[in-house]
Amino acid sequence: MLFVVLLLFLAVLIWWWTFKFLHPRGFPPGPRLSLPLLGDSLTLGSNIVDGLDKLRIKYGDVVGFYLGPMRAVLISDMAMIQEACTKEEMMDRPMFLPEFRKYLLKNGDLPGIGFSNGINWTEQRRFTLHKLKDFGFGKANLEQVIEDQAELLCQHLRKLSDNEQLVSICNIFEISIINALWQVLTSETIALDDPRIIKINTLLGQFEDVGASPLGFLAQIVPTAAKLADQLGIVKLSIIFNSMEDVCMGAIQSHKADFELGDIPRDFIDAYLQHQAQPESGASFQGEEGISNLVAIMLDLFAAGSTTISLTLTWAVLLLANRPELQKLLREDIHEVTGANRLISYSERTKVPLVEAFILEVQRKANVAPLSLFRQANKDCYFKGYFIPKGTVILPNIGRALNNPEVFENPEEFKPERHIKDGKFSPSPNGIPFGVGKRRCLGETLAKAELFIYVTRLLHHFDIKPENNQPIREIPIPTALSKPYPFKLKLVKRV
Ligand code: HEM
């Protein structure tokens, strides 16, 4: 009898495993012995980016596998990424840790932009993009805000580098970038040591550390593991999310208290509250759902818009420190426009092709979003003749595409001139650090302005030199985040 029960149990287990973890006919090639829940995690190892590259080398540009319990497809060829990311069927995002969020939509979906789908995503993205594109509303002119923050940061760096002190550059940009965003969202000008900004920075840092650790990564893709790790206090995702949500909600409450709907909006929150009050604004803006969306948008902007920029800037100064000749050429490019007696403005960017080419090459090298943001198939579909079932997670391997030798000659070399043709900035259609299609980076305009303004301000204020004139390592720490090893700089004041 016991034998029969065991046999039955085994049969059910095999049926469940086959049903759940074997791929359907026509699915892209890849590993075929995935474990329940863990999927192919053991094959991938602790550094997901390296692990996935091994799969690409073994199986090609379209690989089917299991990312934890999720059926997934990795796409590594640039043209294929462009095709996949512009397909309507691959426009969605998968759920991302909903169990740790206080504010969800009534149907349990995630609010905001980065991880929302359907009409909610369309309405919220359109509104936010429109307001950011305005380049500032009311008093908070976006370019001015960024210029002020960049100048504040340079003044701070000037103090730090007094008496030829070496300056540790890691984590130096974060607070400044978060502050610029805070100002756009809330129109508050606050000190770099304001406790709310420090809190947001600390929480974002903790979130990144969680994401970069193997356990944290597992927690993100196996919700049960995440809950358990959270309850045991190993991975404090609920505290991180809830504290961030509280900071954002605090700002919304104070705006609700002191903003009259008929007034001119001072900032993004005012504009949102005003839009919400219009009956024709769209269902996703109404009532509590609207406020959940606003909290989530603030969270999305902080999460997507701070580390990406600060890490790119950290790589920019590292690469500059190792290249005094390039610094000279960049300054010459700028001085031709300004006559060397004023700062260059963002609106003049098309006149300085080398600066634009330098920034794009830094982005290629920094590779801060190597797997873009995951997409998800919203219906059964075919891609390059392969069958992709509904719900499959799509990983656009942007990092590989930006380092593909068939597209970028000697990709390991840092060569801004590869983006210049006949003396003009000529970005390759393959340089897509911001992704492609309707879901491409919402902060692209803001990001480009921030990178331009910070880089040109730093070049204006300082000759950037490495510690002891020794070249700094130009390789990232081997984790999923593309962070350089900690380094120090000698910042010699030029003005
Ligand atoms: C160097 C800087 C940045 C890089 C490299 C970058 C890259 C990306 C990439 C690759 C995506 C996914 C696109 C796709 O699915 O096709 C994305 C999405 C997004 N980014 Fe950025 N980003 C940067 C800065 C920013 C900034 C400054 C903000 C806003 C403050 C921002 C907000 C967003 C949002 C909200 C999304 C989700 C868009 C959606 O799902 O509709 N990003 N970004």
Query: Does residue 16 lie within any of the structural domains?
Result: no
Cα of 375 to ligand 1 centre, how many Å?
13
Rounded-to-10 torsion of CA 220, 474, 334, 494: 110
Can you give the three-state secondary structure of 45-85, one letter per residue? CCCHHHHHHHHHHHHCCEEEEEECCEEEEEECCHHHHHHHH
Query: Does residue 427 lie within any of the structural domains?
Result: yes
Q: Cβ of 490: how many Cβ atoms within 10 Å? A: 18
pLDDT at 348: 95
pTM of the model: 0.92
Query: Does residue 13 lie within any of the structural domains?
Result: no
Three-state secondary structure call for residue 277: coil
Q: Mean pLDDT throughout 49-61?
A: 92
Query: Does residue 11 lie within any of the structural domains?
Result: no
CA nearest neighbour of 78 among 291, 395, 397 = 397
Is 193's pLDDT higher than 80? no
Which residue's CA is the nearest one to ligand 1's atom 34? 442
C-alpha 297/C-alpha 295 separation (Å) is: 6
**Domain total in the chain:** 1
Tell me the average pLDDT of the chain: 89
In terms of residue numbers, what domain contains 146? 23-493
Instruction: Give the helix ranges, DSSP H, for 103-191.
Output: 118-133, 142-160, 174-186
Contact criterion met (CB below 8 Å) for 306 and 204: yes
Cα of 303 to ligand 1 centre, how many Å?
9
Q: Mean pLDDT throughout 216-242?
A: 76
Query: Does residue 228 lie within any of the structural domains?
Result: yes
Contact criterion met (CB below 8 Å) for 111 and 102: no
Query: Does residue 15 lie within any of the structural domains?
Result: no
CA nearest neighbour of 443 among 308, 252, 314 = 308
- The token pair at 326 is 């390039």
Cα of 269 to ligand 1 centre, how many Å?
20
pLDDT at 175: 87
pLDDT at 65: 94
Contact criterion met (CB below 8 Å) for 126 and 133: no
Query: Does residue 248 lie within any of the structural domains?
Result: yes
CATH of the domain at 366: 1.10.630.10
Residues whose beta carbon lies within 6 Å of some atom of ligand 1: 85, 113-114, 125, 181, 300-301, 304-305, 308-309, 312, 368-369, 372-373, 433-437, 439-443, 446-447
Contact criterion met (CB below 8 Å) for 210 and 235: yes
Is 118's pLDDT higher than 60? yes
Query: Does residue 291 lie within any of the structural domains?
Result: yes
pLDDT band at 33 (very low <50, low <70, confident <90, very high): confident
Q: Cβ of 159: how many Cβ atoms within 10 Å? A: 9
441 annotated as ligand-binding: yes
Locate tokens 């300085």: which residue?
A: 352
pLDDT band at 88 (very low <50, low <70, confident <90, very high): very high
pLDDT at 16: 66
Lowest mean pLDDT among 77-81, 208-212, 301-305: 208-212
- The token pair at 400 is 């590989």
pLDDT tens-digit map of 365-377: 999 988 899 999 9
Atom of ligand 1 at shortest range from CA of 181: 30
